[in-house]
A and B are shown apart, each in its own frame.
Chain A
Amino acid sequence: MEAAMGLMRRMPPRHSETALSALLSLLPHNSSDLLSQVDLPLQVLSDDDSGKRFILCEYNRDADSYRSPWSNKYHPRLEDAPYPSSKLRQLEIEANDIFTVYCDQYYEGGISSVYMWEDDNEGFVACFLKDGSKTGQGRRGYLEEGTWDAIHVIEVGPEEETTRYCLTSTVMLSLTTDDVSSGTFSLSGSIRRQMNMNLPVADGHLCNMGKMIEEMEGKLRNSLDQVYFGKTREMVCTLRPPSEVLPMRLPDS
């Protein structure tokens, strides 16, 4: 399994789907591990009842069907499928509504979905997903095509006065530009981070989870700059220093 994850870390991000299906066919017995640990660009389906779109992921899947957070029904229809309890479903509905507003505020477009389910420790797990892409000339120019997909999985501990929240966030980013003077430029990949907090349950689960996600996304946005651009740029400059730097010989590493 470790070797499989190692391979996923080296294959070009734009080929992640191919890489994952290759691994699934080589390691059929590890399929559930692989599917839950590897993040792929998100896909979307339309809900039969409302026509609203929802995001597909491991967390709302059973066999080959996916549960819509809007209607709580599986597409295609499925017998004997798992559903969250009605109390959790209420929370899920609210979460979807509020997350949609949050995403509108920050992303000005895109699709969001939230799924929740009870776990074995008397707590529950919530998964917030956001899918979105933009093509064409961005308002400020330069952007040709870009996508930002986010997956936030929060494990919520059993409800006590102070409850434990464990957040694992993955942001998958892809940027491509195509302009005459610099040819094609494509930067893509994913970053994963974790954050754990103990927060008073009196504030409300949604409030606590929401704030964690907002904080995490803000941090990721900043460090994406450092990681995506900073590190790769540093490497390019190491390979071939810009002319001003040339007189200085770099130490051999």
Chain B
Amino acid sequence: MAEEETELSDKQKKEIAKWFLLNAPAGEIQYVAKDLKSVLNNDDVYDEAASEAFPVYNKSHMICLEMPGRFGDVLVTSYGELQGNEYLDPKTAQVAIVDHVKQVCTEVRPATDEELPTPYVEEYRCALEAEMLKYVSEAYPKGSCSVYCINGKDVEGPGNDFELVAVISAARLSPQNFCTGSWRSIWNIECKDDIQVLELKGKLQVGAHYFEEGNVQLDAKHECRDSTMFQSPDDGAIAIASLIRHHETEYLASLEVASYLNLPDATFKDLRRKLPVTRTLFPWHSTSQFNLTREISKELGIGK
């Protein structure tokens, strides 16, 4: 065993701390933070690591925070990020100021005109958001969604392209059952105004973590594409939402079938048989001091 290890520099410790925080499963970063603080035993290093890691984690997991003042919830995403800790909620046209490390929204202010899309784009965005909200409230018991304009928000009239992104985020924490999970969908919608075509690109990511007798984690990802025509903001919105609903439902079904129904039998049989080929338990009793292996091999009918 190596003798006295050279002490790690603060910078190295900070990088390690960040790594642990960033790799926390959905919804578990506060638990990881607690254990990490104890292991690090150095509040300054921890604080620095946390200030760098939490924003990245929060955006990547698209956490949902409650806004003070009855404005509802806001999703913390890179699409809605205005500045380091300011996030736009397009639904209410409010900007939430967020404390990343505490994972709370500390205050709210109205969005300025420059921060919002033009009325032309807003019509599309709003119509889609309304359809998405309907879909999400039906399909996800505890899901949130937002629709942002990420390109072309200054488009004034028809003939120009713009891009929207619809995100869905759902998380479930059940620490008393030692189980957590998350679902994240990111749908990019390119609106090709001149040819009245909408191109969709979806990225779905599902995760689950079970930690009663050990540490078991699921990480599943899926990408898909589709496109549709549109005439107006409203029918475009309905078409998109229905495509999204269709793809997500299909993905869930194929997860069930391909992975959960087929895997257990197929995989476990491949990795470990339930019983040896002989269909009986292993003949341990043939254990005599010396001819052990030969006797067993004879019993099992294998040459050795």
Q: List residues of chain A with CB under 8 Å of any chain B CB.
A: 3-4, 6-13, 15, 18-19, 22-23, 25-28, 31-32, 63, 94, 97-98, 101-102, 104-108, 132, 134, 138-143, 146-148, 170, 173, 175, 177, 179, 181-193, 203-204, 206-207, 210-211, 214, 217-218, 221, 224-225, 227-229, 231-236, 238-243, 246, 249-250, 252-253
Contacts and interface: CB of A to CB of B under 8 A. Distances in A.
A141 to B, nearest CB: 6
A192 B214 contact: yes
Contacts of A141: 262, 266
Given A185-B220, A235-B179, A242-B252, A106 B273 contact: yes
Tell me the interface secondary structure of chain B in the complex: mixed
Contacts of B5: 25, 28
Given A32-B1, A106-B273, A26 B39 contact: yes
20 contacts: A4-B35, A11-B20, A26-B40, A94-B289, A97-B292, A101-B300, A105-B282, A147-B271, A182-B258, A184-B222, A185-B259, A187-B217, A191-B216, A224-B268, A232-B218, A235-B210, A236-B181, A236-B218, A238-B172, A246-B138
B206 A187 contact: no
B1 A23 contact: no
Nearest to A253: B174
B16 A189 contact: no
B270 to A, nearest CB: 4
Given A177-B259, A240-B140, A146 B271 contact: yes
A231 B221 CA distance: 18
Interface of B: 1, 4-5, 8, 12-13, 16, 19-20, 23-25, 28, 31-32, 34-36, 38-40, 138-143, 170-172, 174, 179-183, 204, 206, 208-223, 248-249, 251-256, 258-260, 262-274, 276-278, 281-282, 284-285, 287, 289, 292-293, 296-297, 300, 302, 304
A142 B258 contact: yes
A235 B274 contact: no
A15 B287 contact: no
Nearest to B209: A10
Contacts of A206: 284, 287, 292
A4 to B, nearest CB: 5
Given A12-B23, A206-B287, A240-B170, A139 B270 contact: yes
A238 B206 CA distance: 12
Nearest to B170: A239
A105 B292 CA distance: 16
A239 B16 contact: no
A253 B252 CA distance: 22
A28 B2 CA distance: 10
B138 to A, nearest CB: 6
A183 B221 contact: yes
Contacts of B271: 107, 132, 134, 146-148, 173
Most chain A CB neighbours (cut-off 10 Å) among B264, B268, B278:
B268
